């Protein structure tokens, strides 16, 4: 209630509101147990301790994004991706381009704010209705925001559910890849209505010339991205995989792009400053760096500390007791998690809090039901990350609508991946597809055996 009223009624800072919630929880614990502040501090430390590996990854995300920008990796992805565009397959191609952009950068906002702006202009010139074009852009951008190892929400979900990052990503492939294939098929069918329209080459030429003016664009620019993908496929731990990709990118920036070594090092901390003359492109090429991750990391630390208090002192059990008692199957648990995150987005206006609190609230229930927490982390993203762009008053929905010039209400039906993926996840949980099991708690084993 504090967060909902503060965000929408008072337009207050989310960090300030989280601090108030943390203070209320600590005071409540002290009033109930009267054991001094030591146990409260220990509970906060417990909540944070389990997320330390993800905290390291958060810092490396900023480093990796900045290195990719300095090396021209992000610029090359845009450059080569735009060359794939054809009116006959514009919608599926636009979706795929945004998929690759968002996987490389880990941000749906940056993807929509750069490639999205270009694509919305091209789609308008071709004669495709803008809500459909916007839906394809948001679908592709949301895919990478959910699946990329350098996405803050991907790491938040893994951290909140207390699972390995790559295990979390592999779990999501069970529901997200089939959904993406279905989305591409639907967009390809829709695109047949506009296959004979013409494409204005001058719009693409301006962006590609701007990128060529800033970087030496060639296939070597994609090497850091390839290194990261290969290491992920080889199941190398996230930290060394990110460091290796960032190191490769830094070397390319210095020796191929001609960047000053000191400037590259500074960019790894504070982000870069791309100057192409195209504002939307400059905004993307000026992000990254350790500093860029501090907003999300500081919020996560406070939320984890809050979760530690709520868990250790039994508040969580009271909050979700009624829901958990009604859940008698893995299907019900997945459905409740996705629905709970959706409601969290609608009330708090942000996916971050829905993911963090959802993981803390539902985690013990997954353990009791004998369902692996990778299903929890997957459900957190399907309920929170994907739906934020479908709600007009969330920060994501407002940004997409403002940037693309299409209202959320208009593009939401065409943001196919965002609303189809949660439905596919619920259906798969009912059918037992991709539903990983672990040893169930004794008091729930009998119920699961009779209900699933």
Q: For residue range 251-310, what is the model confidence (pLDDT) as tens digits? A: 999 999 999 999 999 999 988 777 777 776 777 677 778 887 787 778 778 877 887 887
Q: Which of 158, 147, 50, 168 is nearest to 104 (CA)?
A: 147
Say what the pTM is.
Answer: 0.72
Contact 397, 366 (CB under 8 A): no
Burial of 11 (C-beta count, 10 Å sphere; 0-12/13-18/19+): exposed
Reported as a single tens digit per residue, the pLDDT across 237-249 is: 778 888 999 999 9
Coil, strand or helix at 371: strand
Q: What is the pLDDT of residue 317?
A: 64
Which residue's entry shows tokens 């731990």?
237
Averaged pLDDT for residues 401-419: 90
Q: What is the pLDDT of residue 56?
A: 80
If one counts every other C-beta atom within 10 angstroms of the C-beta of residue 81, the result is 20
* Backbone phi, psi, residue 273, to 5°: -150, 80
Return d(Cα 23, Cα 365) in angstroms, integer. Answer: 26
Q: How is the chain split into domains, by residue range?
A: 15-27+41-50+294-431, 56-292
Contact 123, 342 (CB under 8 A): no
pLDDT band at 102 (very low <50, low <70, confident <90, very high): confident
Q: What is the pLDDT of residue 94?
A: 93
Q: What is the pLDDT of residue 381?
A: 95
Burial of 90 (C-beta count, 10 Å sphere; 0-12/13-18/19+): buried
> What residues contact residue 34 under an 8 Å CB cut-off, 6+ apart?
none
Return d(Cα 358, Cα 352) in angstroms, integer. Answer: 10
Return d(Cα 398, Cα 270) in angstroms, integer. Answer: 27
Which residue's entry shows tokens 């054991």?
35
Q: Is the pLDDT of residue 348 over 70?
A: no
Q: What is the pLDDT of residue 188?
A: 95
Task: Retrieve residue 431's tokens.
Answer: 């059918």
Burial of 185 (C-beta count, 10 Å sphere; 0-12/13-18/19+): exposed
């Amino acid at each position: 209630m504090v967060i909902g009223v503060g965000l929408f009624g008072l337009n207050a800072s989310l960090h300030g509101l989280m601090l108030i919630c943390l203070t209320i929880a600590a005071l409540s614990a002290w009033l109930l147990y009267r054991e001094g502040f030591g146990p409260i501090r220990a509970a906060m430390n417990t909540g944070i301790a389990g997320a330390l590996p993800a905290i390291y990854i958060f810092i490396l995300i900023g480093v990796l994004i900045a290195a990719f920008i300095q090396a021209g990796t992000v610029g090359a992805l845009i450059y080569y991706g735009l060359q794939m565009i054809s009116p006959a397959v514009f919608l599926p191609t636009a979706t795929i381009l945004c998929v690759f952009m968002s996987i490389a950068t880990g941000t749906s906002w940056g993807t929509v704010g750069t490639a999205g702006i270009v694509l919305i202009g091209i789609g308008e010139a071709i004669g495709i209705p803008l809500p459909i074009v916007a839906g394809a852009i948001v679908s592709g951008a949301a895919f990478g925001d959910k699946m990329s190892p350098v996405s803050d929400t991907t790491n938040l979900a893994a951290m909140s559910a207390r699972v390995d990052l790559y295990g979390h990503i592999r779990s999501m492939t069970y529901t997200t890849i089939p959904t993406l294939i279905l989305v591409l098929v639907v967009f390809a069918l829709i695109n047949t209505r506009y296959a004979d329209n013409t494409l204005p080459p001058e719009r693409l030429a301006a962006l590609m010339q701007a990128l060529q003016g800033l970087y030496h664009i060639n296939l070597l620019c994609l090497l850091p991205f390839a290194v990261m993908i290969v290491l992920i496929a080889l199941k190398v731990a996230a930290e060394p995989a990110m460091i290796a990709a960032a190191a490769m990118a830094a070397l390319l920036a210095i020796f191929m792009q001609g960047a000053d070594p000191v400037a590259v090092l500074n960019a790894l901390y504070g982000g870069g400053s791309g100057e192409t003359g195209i504002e939307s492109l400059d905004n993307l090429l000026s992000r990254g760096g350790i500093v860029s991750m501090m907003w999300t990391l500081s919020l996560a630390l406070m939320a984890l500390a809050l979760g530690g208090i709520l868990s250790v002192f039994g508040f969580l059990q009271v909050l979700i007791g009624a829901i958990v008692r009604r859940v008698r199957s893995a299907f019900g648990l997945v459905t409740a998690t996705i629905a709970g995150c959706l409601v969290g987005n609608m009330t708090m206006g942000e996916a971050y809090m829905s993911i963090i609190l959802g993981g803390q609230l539902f985690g013990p229930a997954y353990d009791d039901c004998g369902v692996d927490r990778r299903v929890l982390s997957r459900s957190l993203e399907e309920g929170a990350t994907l739906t934020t762009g479908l709600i007009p008053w969330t920060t994501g929905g407002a940004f997409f609508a403002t940037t693309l010039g299409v209202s959320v209400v208009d593009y939401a039906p065409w943001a196919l991946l965002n609303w189809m993926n949660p439905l596919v996840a619920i259906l798969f949980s009912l059918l037992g597809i991709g539903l990983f099991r672990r040893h169930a708690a004794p008091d729930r084993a009998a119920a699961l055996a009779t209900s699933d």
